Structure 1
Amino acid sequence: MKLSHFVRCSAIPVLVHSLAPTDEPRDADPPQSGYLPNHNISPALLSSYTKKWTMKYNTAEEFYANPLVYTAPNTTKELVILASIQNIVRILDSTTGALIISRTLDAPYVSSDSNCNDGATVGITGTPIIDTTSNIMYLFTKGYCNGLPGPQGVINGAYKFWALNVPSLTIVPGYPVLIKGPASNDPQRYFIGGTILQRPGLAMMQIKWLVGDSVIAGFGGHCDSMNYTDILIAVSKTPSKGVTDMMEMEVSPGEPADPNLLLGKGGKAGIWQSGMGIAADTVNNRVFFSTGWPRCQQRSYRSPAPGKAGTSTLDQAIVNIGVDPVTGLLKQQDYFSPINYEKLNAGDKDLSSSGVTLLDPITFSGGGVNRVGVAGSKAGVIYVVNADNLGGFKMGPNSSDAGKLSDFEKKGFRLTSSVLQELTFAGFCTTCGALQAWKKVLNAQGQPNFAFAAESNIPLGCHNTPTVTSLNGVAGTAIVWLADTSKGLVAFHAVPNGSVLTQITLPGSGGLQKFHRPIFGNNHVYVTSSNKLIAIGGVAQ
């Protein structure tokens, strides 16, 4: 089912396995539900919130990656971890904002090498992830093969995968890993770090909470100005083991490789998701993400095609990839692509302007559907799908979309979502529109669907991901938050009052960085704006 284009969801109470129960060691939660009941926050506490501190950093330094919140081993000190486009990692005292330690990794990539003006440099752009069982943080940096300053040309651009001990920021032996080589599903396609960008937050596969031994990352185009094809990469957490698999989304025979590096060719179909993390179903060893538009509009799957049969052209698609928990090998398992994908291509309407959200399998199930996925596109359409049977292409009656549970459209360039378990509401926000709540209903087959319930009485920039908190799931304590580009940090009672979402007063933050979500600690909220980090909150509980 189509929801709408820039989707973010929040659904299920998730146990956050870190050294303190209020930590946030990754982008939200593994399934990207965005429902976080573990931060000691309730509406009654917000009246005492103040702006705790603001820290400003280097000129032209920005934070595309979300901060992380972590408690150091054998202490009760809450830390805030920042990673910037200048490849600088900092650890701050959450109480004062004081710098505890910083480390500059390789020199960042110079954007002009890729004919790009989105910032002077590109370094760390995807949100890192911390393995709470080992206190090791994993992240990708963009720079050059030799680690030295540029410009050095696009062909010398490189991505490296790092493992840093927290809180010392010392490098784990066996790292960094230089990402290179051909894709396993098309040896004619090579990983060339200068042409691509690692934007989505990382997923981690490990037994139980994580998924196996692998960290999973998605890549798309760096300004779409070069020959690139999106790629999903699995890297081992075992030192010196390195990359376990690289899977391109566009390969032969549907999209043969083009050898000209500098022209805007290649398969494209970037995994960018406006920075939203890769969704991980750690129980079933699989990840979900969405892809953007391709180079060509004539695809190999113009005829009806089942999703589980696979395809060589995974563009404008919601994708399910299996991750072997032992070997880290990737396997295409299922996909959905809407029947109007050619129209989306022609209008630059990326499906990958949002990631995929996996909803709570208990609350959001029924009629034979055991897991619901939500994604959206720039076209203002939200897709709600059966995560266990995405639907392929044109597999419904009369070559219609199959696998969709329902769809609905909203005007606007982007849309985000956040789903609350308490009263089974979903929250969505179209660009320059209101934050809306949609209530779960069942369709004629008893399957989950959504109906409009309420909206905010103010318009918002809505370029970012809503997130829902509650006080340990207690009824009446749920709050939906948005780090808004125009209104700054805003909060609303997540359960509507009639047809209105009631706003909760907060200290002003000013307009915030787009493509972010608020990050939470112990009764604290952290947001970024350009080269600044802002802390808002009350007394730690």
Structure 2
Amino acid sequence: MIRTVHRLRLAGIPLAALGLIAWSAPAQAPAPADHAGHPAAITAGSGAWTVYHHDNAHTGYDSTQPAASGATTGWVSPTLDGSVYAEPLVFNGIVYTATLQGTVYAINQSDGTIAWSKNVGVPHPVGSGQCGNINPLGILGTPVIDTAANRIYVSEILNSDSAWHVFGIDLSSHLVVMDTQIPSSVGTGLDWTIEQQRGALGLANGYVYVPFGGRIGDCGPYHGWVIGVPTNGSTSVTFYESPTTAEGIWAPGGVVVDDSTGNPFFATGNAIPCSGSVNSDSVIRTAPTLGAATSFFQPQDWSAHWCGPDLDLGSISPVLISPSLMFTTGKYGQGFLLNPANLGGTNGQLFPSGAPYTGADVCVGVHSNASFGSVAYANGRLYLTCEGNGVVSLSVNTSTPSFSTCDSSCTAAGTWRTSGVGTVGPPIVAGGAVWAVSTTGAGLYGFNATTGAQIFHSANFGANRFSTPSEAGGQIFVGAGNVIRSFNMASGCSSVSLSAAPPSSTTAGSPVTLTANATGPSCVSPEYRFWVRPAAGSWTMLRDYSTTSTFSWTTTTPPGSYFLGVHARTGGSTAPFEVFASIPYTLTSTVCTAVTLTAAPASPQMSKTQVTLTASGTCPSPNPRYEFWARWQGYTTWQLLQGYSASATYNWNSTGAGAGTEYFGVWVVDANSPAPVPATPSPSCCFDANTSIPFSVTTASCASVTASAVPNTVVSGSGTHVTITGAATGCTNANPRYEFWMRPASSSTWQLVQGYSTSATYDWNSTGALAGTVYFGVWTKDTASPNTYDAVANTTVTVT
């Protein structure tokens, strides 16, 4: 039978733009299905939220946070690959979410960047002729995190085999380490074409509990199911199957577990048909291994007011107040307190009285499609969403037991309700406030948990049906269409600003003064903690909390783009932070990237020329330092000419340099360079940049010389004078110089007879010369030559 379309109103709502992003991060494109990344260095909010509505009792309550006075808008994640219906989960600084495309995303809690993602497979689409308004049939129910095994469990029906699976993904390796197929042959048969996995997964007793119900339109003879999938990888599943057709277990809250007994609890929808049904519109308790109900509760008027008009008790998951007290309600808008140890059967509630039975209104007297999702409980108060009427809070007397009611006036003592809010998803409680997401595009609301006074309302944004926020470390996380949005509870300081001096950029190695200023209605003696993050890296703490609002950052990090951040909180607060802010910052280079070297006059030059070597560095600072080196011809090592100084020139006197090639080098360091300057200069250390140039030296010389003697024969004892003449050719300069040598006939040794002079002749008096051959040598060199001689020639005189 086709029933009312109110059973699962799950159509997506377009995402509205949200204003401020308080913690800046580089823009990112939509994430791919499998995304490798890195964990955030900041765990910006310790805390954890590892199961739907915080704990196995589904209280939706985090008791660790200080009282919140409001909230500020945080980051928005990159666009994900599909719509998010599941409640975000949080563990070890990572926010986990899942999409209808079958992808699990791990998002850094600190800044909303994606740490990694894993797609478990292509989900099955809704087939032609099948009912339902969720397509594809990806991950719809909220996953659950196994903190002991370090896994997250999700459920999806794969397109490849048309079977439901439970996947376990390792949170360290990001790999699927468990893949258990739920056999369609369980019970009377689990028909995927008419079933939907909407409720949150549960985890206890070595099982992942997976609830199933029908789809909108109630097509086919579906049943309500809870499948117990062993976490040890065994394929032997356990199950609960509703005894009558329909009775879907579809509430977003899924399965509740009593940690004191291990017993699971869940609520069923209406049977089809109502007549003769068993456990229609009931709260069911089973053994940890599931199987048939070991106890149940059913309203006295279940057939007339719940089943007949399709007003499921199973539109909400029960909340376990204590091992001896449970609350539930549903579409008909009346509530019940139950004893989990003995649910009491039909009309077996603890409150209201069963004899005579009068229903207890909880949703402004509305008796049609009144409440959906899940109920929160904290400090003696229940918090439930009422369709079109925002949030209603009821006070609970756990001793009597009883609760305050909310009829059409909703003015009973101990009760409060919101007004002008419209429809919201299931609420949670943290920081003394109730947080609920509008499912009509109005954003996130916060209310004082005791009085119901509104303390926060974000800018508008869209969220899917039954969207449930989560909280960890003072941050609230909301699945909003195909993104996750974060908000930061303000419990003292409501805003903080951050500035830097010098602003926006400086050279690496220079100090930067960060100044923060936190404000708020109760921001007393604020404390500040400062952070830095490379544009493509992780956050690193610069200084832990202190009441000093400034910090001098010595920029020893490499040049590049960075983000500077600050956390702030009220003095004495134990919260990880109350507000935060960040700004982009750029560090420019502190090293010279290049250096050139020129010589004036340019190579080649004659020996004795004064040469000026000039260096020019490409450096960020105006006064780099230079060091000059030389490698002389014939040597393999470099010699220091002039140590590091601000002088960009070195003057070389080439006097004494022989003809050939000399090499000159220069090193440069920026004035702010981190390169060390050694006490003793070394050619292997240290510089930002270096270069060298060759320099050719030429020398003045004579190419050749001839020698002649006139006369060249004399008689011994005659005293004849002989003129020895040298004639140099190919000299660089005029007036070459000559030096004359003689080797007597009786000697093997040359004797200098006339030193270098411009005279080209030597007059030899042969008196006393012995008979024989006398040798004369002529050395010549250019007047500017550095050589001992440039050319040599010999001639002889015969003595008879």
Q: Do they superpose with TM above 0.5?
A: yes
Match of 1:289 among 266, 282, 295: 266
Counterpart in 2 of 1:528?
A: 479
Note if 1:495 corresponds to 2:450.
yes
| Structure with higher strand content | 2
CA contact (8 A) 1:437 1:455 kept: yes
Is 1:222 the counterpart of 2:215? The answer is yes
**8 Å contact from structure 1 (residues 466, 480) kept in 2:** yes
| Distance apart, 1:510 and its partner CA | 2.2
155, 166, 173: which one aligns with 2:171: 166
TM-score, length of structure 2 as denominator length: 0.51
Match of 1:179 among 172, 182, 190: 182
Tell me whether 1:35 sits opposite 2:61 in the alignment: yes
Change (3 A) 1:114 1:272: farther
Q: Given the superposition, is the C-alpha separation of residues 522 and 441 from structure 1 closer, same or farther in structure 2, using an over 3 Å criterion?
A: closer
Matches within 5 A, 1:133-532: 133-144=148-159, 146=160, 157-172=162-177, 175-183=178-186, 187=187, 189-205=188-204, 212-223=205-216, 224-239=218-233, 241-250=234-243, 255=244, 267-273=245-251, 275-300=252-277, 313-323=278-288, 328=289, 330-343=291-304, 344-361=306-323, 371-393=324-346, 401=354, 407-410=360-363, 411-412=365-366, 413-415=369-371, 418-422=375-379, 424-441=380-397, 446-451=400-405, 452=412, 453-470=414-431, 478-486=432-440, 487-496=442-451, 501-532=452-483
The answer to whether 1:100 aligns with 2:115 is yes
Cα drift, residue 50 of structure 1: 2.5
Q: Deviations over 1:453-506 (max 9, x none)?
A: 243452333341111113xxxxxxx1111112233211111112xxxx211124
User: Structure 1 87/495 Cα, relative in aligned 2: closer, same or farther at 3 Å?
Assistant: same
Cα pair 2:229 2:236 within 8 Å, conserved: yes
- Is structure 2 residue 76 aligned with structure 1 residue 53? yes
Mapped to 2, the partners of 1:94 and 1:160 lie a distance apart of 28
Name the CA distance, whole Å, in 2 between partners of 1:234 and 1:528. 27
Q: Which residue of 2 aligns with 1:304?
A: none
What is the CA–CA distance in structure 1 between the aligned matches of 2:132 and 2:268, rounded to whole Å?
A: 23
The count of residues paired between Structure 1 and Structure 2 equals: 435
Change (3 A) 1:297 1:488: same
Q: Matches of 2:425 and 2:180 in 1, distance apart?
A: 31
- Tell me the equivalent position of 1:307: none
- Does the CA contact (< 8 Å) of 1:65 and 1:127 recur in 2? yes
RMSD of the alignment, in Å? 2.9
Aligned mates of 2:390, 2:134 — CA distance in 1: 30
Q: Which amino acid aligns with 2:321?
A: L
Instruction: Work out the CA distance in 2 between the residues paired with 1:278 and 1:391.
Output: 19
Q: Distance in 2 between matches of 1:243 and 1:464?
A: 35
Q: Distance in 1 between matches of 2:398 and 2:211?
A: 34
Q: Looking at both structures, which has the greater relative contact order when contacts are Cα pairs under 8 Å and sequence separation is at least 6?
A: 1
Q: Name the amino acid aligned to 1:349.
A: L
Task: Verify: 1:66 aligned to 2:44, yes or no.
Answer: no
Distance in 2 of aligned mates of 1:420 and 1:192:
36
**Aligned in 2, Cα 1:170/1:100: closer, same or farther, shift over 3 Å?**
same
Aligned counterparts, 1:82-97, within 5 A? 82-97=97-112
Q: 1:82 to 1:296 in 2, by over 3 A?
A: same
d(CA) in 2 for partners of 1:404, 1:143: 47
Q: For 2:112 and 2:398, how far apart are their aligned partners in 1?
A: 47
Contact map agreement 1:114 1:195 (CA 8 A) in 2: no
Q: Is the 8 A contact 2:76 2:483 kept in 1?
A: no
Task: Give the equivalent residue in structure 2 for 1:75.
Answer: none
Render the CA deviation track for 1:388-412: whole Å, top value 9, x for unaligned.
221212569xxx9589997334334
Preserved CA contact (<8 Å) 1:391 1:402: no
- Aligned partners of 1:164 and 1:171 also within 8 Å: yes
- Contact 2:86 2:142 survives alignment (8 Å): yes
Distance 1:418 1:141, change over 3 A: closer
Q: Distance in 1 between matches of 2:170 and 2:141?
A: 18
Q: 1:298 to 1:29 in 2, by over 3 A?
A: same
Larger radius of gyration: 2
Q: Is the partner of 2:91 in helix, strand or coil?
A: strand
Paired with 2:385 and 2:330, the residues of 1 have a C-alpha distance of 13
- Equivalent residue, structure 1, for 2:772: none
Q: For structure 1, which runs of at least 5 residues remain unmatched after alignment?
A: 7-17, 72-77, 148-156, 206-211, 256-266, 301-312, 362-370, 471-477
> Secondary structure of the residue that 2:343 maps to in structure 1?
coil
3-state SS, counterpart of residue 56 of structure 1 = coil
Structure 2 vs 1, CA of residues 329 and 298 (structure 1 numbering), >3 Å: closer, same or farther? closer
Aligned in 2, Cα 1:140/1:449: closer, same or farther, shift over 3 Å? Answer: same
Deviation at 1:247, TM superposition (A): 1.9
Query: How far did residue 131 of structure 1 move?
Result: 1.0
Q: Which runs of 5+ in 2 are unaligned?
A: 1-6, 9-42, 406-411, 490-566, 568-575, 578-800
Distance 1:62 1:111 in 2: 16
Structure 1 residue 96, shift from structure 2 partner: 2.3
Q: Identify the residue that residue 783 of structure 2 maps to in structure 1.
A: none
1:437 to partner: Cα distance: 2.4
> What amino acid is aligned across from residue 333 of structure 1 in structure 2?
T
Any idea what the Cα deviations from partners look like across 1:246-288, whole Å, max 9, x if unmatched? 22112xxxx4xxxxxxxxxxx1110011x11311102112011
- TM-score relative to the length of structure 1: 0.74
Match of residue 11 from structure 1: none
Cα displacement string for residues 97-156 of structure 1 (whole angstroms, at most 9, x for unaligned residues): 222211211211112346235133111111111111120111111223x35xxxxxxxxx
Query: In 2 relative to 1, CA 21–359 (structure 1 residues): closer, same or farther, beyond 3 Å?
Result: farther
Q: Secondary structure at the match of 2:393?
A: strand
Tell whether the 8 Å contact from 1:338 to 1:401 is kept in structure 2 after alignment: no
Distance 1:92 1:395, change over 3 A: closer
In structure 2, C-alpha distance between the alignment counterparts of 1:134 and 1:276, rounded to whole Å: 23
Structure 1 residues 436, 143: CA separation in 2 closer, same or farther (over 3 Å shift)? Answer: same
| Kept in 2: contact 1:114–1:226 (CA 8 A) | no
Mapped to 1, the partners of 2:316 and 2:468 lie a distance apart of 13
In structure 2, distance between residues paired with 1:508 and 1:31: 32
State the identity %: 21
Q: 1:345 to 1:93 in 2, by over 3 A?
A: same
Q: What letter is aligned with 1:516?
A: S
Matches of 1:222 and 1:196, distance apart in 2: 6
**1:22 counterpart residue number:** 47
Structure 2 SS opposite 1:342: helix
Change beyond 3 A, Cα 1:420–1:90: closer
Partner of 1:263: none
1:142–1:158 CA contact under 8 A, matched in 2: yes
